[in-house]
Structure 1
Amino acid sequence: MPLVSGIDFTSRPSRRKPQWASAWRVSSSRAELVELVPLPTWSDYAAWLARPFDLIGIDHPFGLPREMQGEWGVPETWVGMRDWVTSFEPAAWRQFVSAWRAGQPPGRKFRYRATDCEAGSQSPLNTVNPPVGMMLRAGLPYLDRTRMVEVYPSLTARAAGVRPYKGLDPSPRQGLLASLNDHRGRELVIPPAMAEVATQDTEGDALDAVIAGLTAAWAVDEPRFGLPERYDDWEGAIVDPLLSAKRSTSSAELTK
Structure 2
Amino acid sequence: MVLLLGCDFSSAPTQRKPIVIAQGTLDGKVMRLAQLHTFATLDAWGDWLARTRVWVGGFDFPFGLPRELIVQLGWPVHWPLSMTHYAGLSRAAIRAEFAAFCAARPVGGKFAHRATDGPAGSSPSMKWVNPPVAFMLHAGVPRLLAAGAFFPAHDEPWAGRRAERIALEAYPGLLARELIGRRSYKADDRARQTPERRAARADLLDTLCAAGSERLGIRLALDAPQRVDLLADAQGDRLDAVLCLAQAAWAASRPGWGLPPKVDSLEGWIISA
TM-score by length of 1: 0.88
- Aligned residue type for 2:225: A
Matching residue within 165, 168, 171 for 2:199: 171
- Is the contact between residue 116 and residue 269 of structure 2 (CA under 8 Å) also seen in structure 1? yes
Return closer, same or farther for 1:218/1:99 CA change in 2, 3 Å cut-off. same
Return closer, same or farther for 1:108/1:42 CA change in 2, 3 Å cut-off. same
Q: CA RMSD of the aligned region, Å?
A: 1.6
Distance apart, 1:180 and its partner CA: 0.6
Distance apart, 1:91 and its partner CA: 2.8
Query: What SS does the corresponding residue of 1:125 show, helix, strand or coil?
Result: coil
The range that moved more, 54-63 or 153-162, is 153-162
Deviations for 1:150-169, whole angstroms, at most 9, x for unmatched residues?
01110111112242111423
Query: Which residue of structure 2 lines up, in the alignment, with residue 153 of structure 1?
Result: 172
- Aligned residue type for 2:98: V
Query: Which residue of structure 2 lines up, in the alignment, with residue 36 of structure 1?
Result: 36
Query: Which residue of structure 2 lines up, in the alignment, with residue 10 of structure 1?
Result: 10
Counterparts of 1:76-91 in structure 2, within 5 Å, are 76-91=77-92
CA distance in 2, matches of 1:105, 1:180: 41
Distance apart, 1:185 and its partner CA: 4.4
Query: Which residue of structure 2 lines up, in the alignment, with residue 19 of structure 1?
Result: 19
- Aligned residue type for 1:152: Y
CA distance in 1, matches of 2:229, 2:95: 33
Query: Which residue of structure 1 lines up, in the alignment, with residue 256 of structure 2?
Result: 224
Query: What SS does the corresponding residue of 1:20 show, helix, strand or coil?
Result: strand
Distance apart, 1:227 and its partner CA: 1.3
The range that moved more, 227-236 or 49-58, is 49-58
In the alignment, structure 2 segments of 5+ residues that lack a partner are: 153-165, 188-192
Query: What SS does the corresponding residue of 1:114 show, helix, strand or coil?
Result: coil
Distance apart, 1:187 and its partner CA: 4.7
CA distance in 1, matches of 2:94, 2:26: 39
Query: Which residue of structure 2 lines up, in the alignment, with residue 249 of structure 1?
Result: none
Query: What SS does the corresponding residue of 2:116 show, helix, strand or coil?
Result: helix
Identity %: 37
Deviations for 1:203-243, whole angstroms, at most 9, x for unmatched residues?
11110000000111111121111111111010000101xx3
Confirm whether residue 214 of structure 1 aligns to residue 242 of structure 2: no
- Is the contact between residue 36 and residue 194 of structure 1 (CA under 8 Å) also seen in structure 2? no
- Aligned residue type for 2:32: E
Q: How many residues align?
A: 241
Query: Which residue of structure 1 lines up, in the alignment, with residue 105 of structure 2?
Result: 104
Moved over 3 A (4+): 182-187
CA distance in 2, matches of 1:131, 1:177: 27
CA distance in 2, matches of 1:59, 1:226: 17
Confirm whether residue 198 of structure 1 aligns to residue 233 of structure 2: no
Return closer, same or farther for 1:185/1:106 CA change in 2, 3 Å cut-off. closer
- Is the contact between residue 117 and residue 123 of structure 2 (CA under 8 Å) also seen in structure 1? yes
